[in-house]
Amino acid sequence: MARLGKDDLRGDRRPRAAKQPRRRRPQQRLAFAVLWGFLAAAGALAYFALTLPSTDQLTASLRRPSVTILADDGSLIATFGDLFGEPLRLREMPRYLPQAVIATEDRRFYHHFGIDLLGMARAALADLRAAHIVQGGSTITQQLAKNLFLTPDRTIGRKIRETMLALWLEHKFTKDQILELYLNRAYLGAGTYGVDAAAHRYFNKSARNLTLFEAAVIAGLLKAPSRFSPVNDRARAADRADQVLQNMVEAGYISEAQARAAERQKSQLAEADRAPPGSRYFADWVAGQIGSFADINGHDVVVTTTLDPKMQAYAEHAVARTLAADGTADHVTQGALVAMSPDGAIRAMVGGSDYNDSQFNRATQALRQPGSSFKPFVYLTALEHGIKPSDHFNDAPIRIGDWEPHNYENKYRGDVTVADAVAYSINTVAAQVIERVGANNVIATARRLGITTPLPHDDSLALGTGSVSLMELTAAYAAFASGGVAAWPHAVLEIHDAHGGAVLYRRAGSGAPRVIDAGIAGEMNQLLEGVIERGTGRAAALDRPDAGKTGTTQDFRDALFVGYTANLVCGVWFGNDDNSPMKRVVGGTLPARTWHSFMVAATRDLPVRELPGPSAFVALGNLFGRGAPPAPAQQPRPSSSPGLLQSLIHAIFGSR
């Protein structure tokens, strides 16, 4: 029997064709895509829902306490922190205030559920036509959600959270409550939050009393608070208010006649208080000190200061005019000025050429060499050690150890008096004087008058090789103007609570001690009067008794003039932040001329008074042997120094 093979056992079968994969129908693919899309969207929504910020503290006011700084006349200098007004109910506001906001920001506010789909479509179409973003589709509810809970970052995640929070707000609150929250929390420029704070800031009144035009101004701020602020640009703010009024007409809230009548109120914008542009240097300096006077944690405070707005304007103008006229030619980019009364009350401060460009305060923070403007402390020490203004020294090349001080332009006068040496800023005599009285004694004198910065313990100190701030140098000169009483620079007169009015701090006298004997202070005044009468500071001369000293450092890197009358002390500095040399600018040129320009304006309405003079006995002792008179070619101005008779009268009856 024949054997059967495997093929015979399986039977006669044809080879099978390869198995073809099953094709899914289009409906199935779509269903899968929808399912996965739904799951992804649900997951994303779940993620954003889980990462929403807490809404528990909805009504809490988490903000920095506000600090409002005022000048001595009550005018505004600057504000810091967050300014919130009184929370107002809608019924307390004039009806056209919320109407102006709705007409401009969200005309369908009462007709959508927190998200305005029509508004979003309209904004998207406008953006497509313009090829960039020109309209926003956010509702008032969405803006409130962003203001309360989110950051202003432009991200998809933030927009999704904003939308979810807007829906929550619409579910939680009524439309009026949402609008009320928005009006009390929205940022409206100049550090203000809420319509009441803005009304006080821009119109000095409560939001309860706003006119239609004022309400339009405030509503117009919501789009761009800084751009449309009446403090920054009143014309632009007025134009924006006109646009808001037209929006109100289109929305049916007011008539054309009412809009035209409101537009005629534009003059009210003149009431918006504007801070002097350069006074921010002063404001920053004051703000840094407030905590040392009173505990302001949790308090909105108002700080009244010693700044005189008119003097501040004169100071800014004087420095700016000098830099504009001579800055490029003389390679000078920065200037500073500080003015104070003889008791140290700051009346004006310029910390640099442009606060917006640099907030570094060159009047208080910069430490620069004073040059010869430090010499008064050397000569004050000399007078206290028995050296007299009439004593003679030899102005000639000298060597003190390894140090060889030179005069400006290497010119020497031979036999001179101390009075001449001060007037003409002779370096060789100042070096001989400090060698005689000792650098340590000069440092002690400077410390007594208020110089706190480290000073070199060697004879080069006589030429101002230490570094000081313009503020402390000027304050030290104030002791001469006061007749010997120390001046402590200060600016804060009073701090009170912005809401309750409670006084948290009030200045009650300086308590400054006498640091110079009255007679010696009078001698110093006579010496420094000579600088202006016949010496290096002639460009600073006023038509009233004045005194001061020039200062120039090596390679013309710094130039200063510090001077005073009986009413006002002022220091001026010019130089460059990178310490690069100027083009032969000395203290007797740009600084002295700027000082003169400022002081003429600043003292115009102040009484003319003599500077404190020496006692009668000191005057008698110095009457003979005084310095040589000016050269015949010079025509000295009428002397402001008291003569013998004047000195005797002063000693008996006091200064005039």
Q: Which residues are catalytic?
A: 105, 372
Six token digits for residue 381: 């020490």
Smallest CA-to-CA distance from 446 within 385, 343, 376, 384 is with 376
- The closest of 247, 228, 225 to 239, measured between CA atoms, is 228
Q: Where are the alpha helices (DSSP H) in 512-608?
A: 518-534, 590-602
Which two three-digit tokens encode residue 490?
């200060």
% helix / strand / coil in the chain, to the nearest 5? 45, 10, 45
Helices and strands per DSSP (H, E), number in the chain: 23, 14
Half-sphere exposure for 435 (CA within 13 Å, toward CB): 14
Tokens for 395?
């102005």
Q: Are 194 and 184 in contact (CB under 8 A)?
A: yes
Residues 6 or more apart in contact with residue 151 via CB below 8 angstroms: 158
Q: Which two tokens stand for residue 633?
A: 């070619």
Q: 518-534 vs 616-623: helix axis angle to the nearest 10? A: 50
- Whether 228 and 236 have beta carbons less than 8 Å apart is answered as yes
Buried b / exposed e along 261-283 (16+ C-beta atoms within 10 A): ebbebbebbeebbebbebbbbbb
Taking the CA atoms of 529, 531, 534 and 537 in sequence, report the sign of the dihedral they define. negative
> Which H or E element spans position 338?
strand 334-340
Three-class SS of residue 497? strand
Q: Provide the 3-class DSSP secondary structure of residue 116.
A: coil
Spatial contact of 475 and 416, defined as CB atoms under 8 Å apart: no
Quote the DSSP letter at residue 461. G
